[in-house]
Amino acid sequence: MPIPEDVTGEEIDKDVRQELQSLPKTLAEDVAKNLVMVARLIDEDPEGAYGYSRVALRLASRVAAVREAAGFAAYASQKYSEALAEFRAARRMTGNVDLWPVMADCERGLGRPEKALDMAGAPEVHKLDKAGQVEMRLVAAGARRDMGQLDAAIVTLQSPELASGSVQPWTARLRYAYADALLVAGRDSEAREWFAKAVEADRDGSTDASDRLAELDGVEFTDALDESGANDETDGNAETDENAENGDNGVTGESGNADPADKD
């Protein structure tokens, strides 16, 4: 797959670069460039990112960072079985538990919410940092919803992290998930309150909490382009009416006021 000229491979994280040092220099550079493309495309073009991840995987399947990148690219492309296999491989290589929540979410994607819940209660969860534990809570709540257990999903999300007034990287998503669960359960007023709290915490626009809040408040947004087009049409109608009053039928060369020689 083509690599843009501005991609050097130096853009990757230093820890990943260190992992690639086990490879011959030229090979390491090629792998690094493909990993940069995975990171660049994964949000906007998951399939494109997946393609680059497969190239990196073919070149360096024994590098944990490559297996992890391939896992996330497959996950973003909703290839959950493949993603789970790559995450498991990366975990075997490193012994790290950081991928545990996303592995559990892959189980959800494969239609196995019960397995995701089993993973949420596993000893590995206690080894996760705070962000990982919150992520695991989100996955567990999602699994409860998959199983139609709305009340249990709401209870799962109720935690010190949800109640905290401080804003952390996970705060907006946690509040959003709680608001959405409340809304599905028919608790609209509480849902509105938590969507508003999610908006307060969502400093980088990672959720559509503001749109959901506006929807609950009955706010309708008008497309500025459509409105402009309507104004143009109105103006055009007004001009036509004016021309008609002046004896001009609006077709160049067919009125007494327009000279066919001037139509260019």
Distance of alpha carbon 84 from the chain centroid: 19
The predicted pLDDT at position 219 comes to 80
Element (H, E) at 124: none
Report pLDDT digits (tens) over 216-236.
888 875 655 555 555 555 555
175-181 long-range Cβ contacts below 8 angstroms, 24+ apart: 175/201, 175/209, 176/202, 176/207, 176/209, 176/212, 177/138, 177/141, 177/142, 178/154, 179/209, 179/212, 180/212, 181/141, 181/145, 181/150, 181/153, 181/154, 181/157
Least confident among 23-32, 170-179, 214-223 = 214-223
Q: What pTM did the predictor assign?
A: 0.79
Report pLDDT digits (tens) over 76-98.
999 999 999 999 999 999 999 99
Half-sphere exposure of 19 (CA within 13 A, CB side): 20
Q: What is the average per-residue pLDDT within 26-43?
A: 96
State the average pLDDT for the chain: 87
Q: How far apart are CA 128 and CA 108, in angstroms?
A: 20
The predicted pLDDT at position 218 comes to 85
Report pLDDT digits (tens) over 234-254.
555 544 454 444 444 333 333
Rounded to 5 degrees, φ, ψ at 187 are: -100, 70
Judged against a pLDDT cut of 90, whether residue 262 lies above it is answered with: no
The predicted pLDDT at position 244 comes to 45
